[in-house]
Amino acid sequence: MALVAAAFTLAAAPASQPASAPAPTANLGPNLLVNGDFEHALDGWDSAKDNGMSLVSPEAAHNGGFGLRVTDDDPDKGSSLASERFPANPGQVYEARFWARIMSGKDTLVYIQFFDNKNKQLTTKESGKQIQIRVIGGQWREYTGRGVAPEGTASTRVWIHTINNGKAIADFDDFTFCEVK
C-alpha cells in the first residue's frame, strides 16, 4: 500500500527525553479527540469491529498512565479501532499526530478517513485517495499525517488498523486530530 498522506514526518525522541503529547501549533484548531491519550480507557473510540485486539494498558503508555496496545496474532483478521466521526468540509486539511512503536511484526497503519453524508467512505484504496501513515520500527516515534477532505465530504475520523493477513503488536499514545487553519 502506498502512502498517500499530504504530509508525513516522523521524529524519534531520545529514550532519556520525557514523554509529552504533541504540542499544538498556531495553525491548528483544537484537538477533536476527547481521549487521544487513552487515559479514559476507550471512551471516544469505536472497537466494535476490532476483534478484541486493541486494549488500553499501562505498558503501552508513552506519556501519562495508559496507552493503547494493539495485539494482532490472527493470520486472517486485523484490528480496527476508530475515533468517533467529526463534521468536515470539502477542501479542508486535517492533521493527525500520535506517538507509536512496533513491538513485533509490521503492517500497522493509521488512516485519516473521510465520508459523505450517507456514510460512504470517500478515501478508499480503490478511489486512489487513501490516506495512511505507516508505523515502523521498535522505538517510540512521533508521526504526523495530513489529508485534504475530498469533494462531498461530510465527516472525518482516525482509524487504527493492522493488515488482515499480517501479525503485529504495536503501542499508540497521545493522539491529536485537528483542522489545519
pLDDT digits (tens, 9 = 90+) for 8-60: 333 333 332 233 344 456 799 999 999 999 999 999 999 999 999 999 999 99
Domain 27-171 has CATH 2.60.120.260: yes
Name every residue whose Cβ is closer than 8 Å to that of residue 9 and which is 6 or more positions away in sequence.
142, 143, 144
Looking at 22-26, 80-84, 162-166, which range is the least confident one? 22-26
* pLDDT score of 97 more than 50: yes
Query: Rounded to the nearest 5 degrees, what angle is found at the Cα of 46, between the Cα atoms of 79 and 125?
Result: 55
CA distance 77 to 23: 34
- pLDDT, position 128: 92
Burial of 31: CB neighbours in 10 Å, binned 0-12, 13-18, 19+: middle
Helix (H) or strand (E) holding 67: strand 67-72
Residues for the chain: how many in total? Answer: 181
The CA radius of gyration of the chain, in Å to the nearest whole number, is 15
Which residues partner with 11 through β-bridges?
142
3-state helix, strand, coil in the chain (%, to 5): 0, 45, 55
Q: Which residue in the block uniquely carries the three cell numbers 470539502?
A: 90
Q: Please check whether residue 131 is in contact with residue 145, taking contact to mean a CB–CB distance below 8 angstroms.
A: yes
